[in-house]
Amino acid sequence: MAAASPAGFDPRLAWPLGSFLALLFAVPLAMLLVISLQTGDGYGFGQYAKFLTDWFSLRILGGTLRLGVEVTIACLVLGFPLAWLHARSPGWAKSAITLVVLLPLLTSVVVRTFAWIVILGRQGIINNALVGAGLIDTPLRLLYTEGGVVAALAQVQMPLMVLPLVAALGRADPNLADAASILGAGAWRTWRTVVLPLAMPGIIAGCLLTFTASVTAFITQSLVGGGQMMFMPAYVLQQAIALGDMPFAAAISVIFLVCVLIVVALLSLLGRRSRAHV
């Protein structure tokens, strides 16, 4: 093929995908907005007022965002050492770690979530082990608790955190850390002033992916959380399908979307500032 230049491109090439996205993304989003503005007898912000003045709804929103933060922190704390190990390992170990990280992605989320039901159940692995070891007499309630949801989601979403971290740490020159220690910096200081800033783009990207994926993870939330714990995706479904209240469901979706976008914007801002720093 005789391309003009490797860097040059024809903007018309973006047309197919552009029109595809416009048709299947922008139009439905606009429809969602219009539906959310419907009130009983006309158009207005009634549905939004209903949500924002209702403690129960606000608690669901707050609980969902808190869940996202908890899962993101868990993934970051557990994933960072793994990514660090990956960056510092020889070639064969790198492949092994990559395989272990990617392995969960090869199984469906439903299957992984059911595995967590087996692990957390009254007669699950954890309870059986604890009872067997004589540490507890009656099985603990682990399934259908927020802790259970966080644990399951952290495992399910872990690759989304580790992969960007691996990419960021892999790009960092290992000589930089060595240079820092030669210049007299301790392990902690090296990590804080050299490794962390270099890993920042990966951390931001990982947090973004993990957060958005876990607040919207309907399957894991409802299967491990159960019918007593309500998160935003299930709330939307309940209003739209069980109650047939499309305008309110649309308004909840828009509010949820805006909240997630705010978090995304804050994280991107943080990312831009950290890049400026490096």
Partner 1 sequence: MNRRTLLTSALTLAAMRAFPGISYAQARPLVFATFTGSWEEAHKAILVPAYRKATNNAGIVLDPMLSVDQIAKVTAARNNPPIDVQLHDPGPGLIAIAQGLVEPYPVDRSAYYKDLLPVAQEPMGPAAFFQVVGLTYNPETIKTPPTSWADLWNPAYKGKVGITNLASTLGTGFLVEIARMYGGSEANVDPGFTALAKLKPSLSAVASNPGALASLFQQGQIDISPGNYNAIQILKAQGVPVEWVAPKEGAIAFRTTMHITKNSPNPELAFKLIEAALSPEVQTALMQEPYLVTPTNTKVKMSGAVAKDLAPDADTMNKKFKFQDWAKINEQRAAWIARFNREMAG
Stretch that binds partner 1, among 12-20, 39-47, 110-118, 255-263 (CB under 8 A): 110-118
With CB under 8 A as the contact rule, the residue among 22, 118, 136, 265 that binds partner 1 is 118
Per the CB < 8 A criterion, the answer to whether 154 and 71 are in contact is yes
Verify binding: residue 17, partner 1, rule CB under 8 A: no
Verify binding: residue 144, partner 1, rule CB under 8 A: yes
With CB under 8 A as the contact rule, the residue among 16, 132, 227, 277 that binds partner 1 is 227
For the CB of residue 185, give the shortest distance to partner 1 in the complex, in Å: 48
For the CB of residue 128, give the shortest distance to partner 1 in the complex, in Å: 10
The site map against partner 1 for 39-78 (x = CB under 8 A) is -----------------x----------------------
Choose between 95 and 108: whose C-beta lies nearer to partner 1.
Answer: 108
Verify binding: residue 123, partner 1, rule CB under 8 A: yes
Per the CB < 8 A criterion, the answer to whether 201 and 268 are in contact is no
Q: Which of 226, 232, 219 is nearest to 141 (CA)?
A: 226
For the CB of residue 29, give the shortest distance to partner 1 in the complex, in Å: 17
3-state secondary structure the chain: CCCCCCCCCCHHHHHHHHHHHHHHHHHHHHHHHHHHCEECCEECCHHHHHHHCCHHHHHHHHHHHHHHHHHHHHHHHHHHHHHHHHHHCCHHHHHHHHHHHHHHHHCCHHHHHHHHHHHHCCCCHHHHHHHHCCCCCCCCCCCCCHHHHHHHHHHHHHHHHHHHHHHHHHHCCHHHHHHHHHCCCCHHHHHHHHHHHHHHHHHHHHHHHHHHHHHCCHHHHHHHHCCCCCCHHHHHHHHHHHCCCHHHHHHHHHHHHHHHHHHHHHHHHHHHHHHHHC
Choose between 52 and 266: whose C-beta lies nearer to partner 1.
Answer: 52
Stretch that binds partner 1, among 22-30, 79-87, 227-235, 249-257 (CB under 8 A): 227-235
With CB under 8 A as the contact rule, the residue among 243, 262, 265, 266 that binds partner 1 is 243
For the CB of residue 230, give the shortest distance to partner 1 in the complex, in Å: 6
Stretch that binds partner 1, among 9-17, 118-126, 149-157, 193-201 (CB under 8 A): 118-126
With CB under 8 A as the contact rule, the residue among 5, 53, 175, 228 that binds partner 1 is 228
Verify binding: residue 117, partner 1, rule CB under 8 A: yes
Stretch that binds partner 1, among 12-20, 148-156, 180-188, 219-227 (CB under 8 A): 219-227
Verify binding: residue 234, partner 1, rule CB under 8 A: yes
CA distances from 147 to 25, 115, 214 (A): 34, 16, 14
Report the C-alpha gap between 210 and 25 in whole angstroms: 22
User: Which residues of the shown chain bind partner 1 in the complex (CB under 8 A)?
Assistant: 56, 114, 117-118, 121-124, 138, 141, 143-145, 222-223, 225-230, 234, 238, 240-245
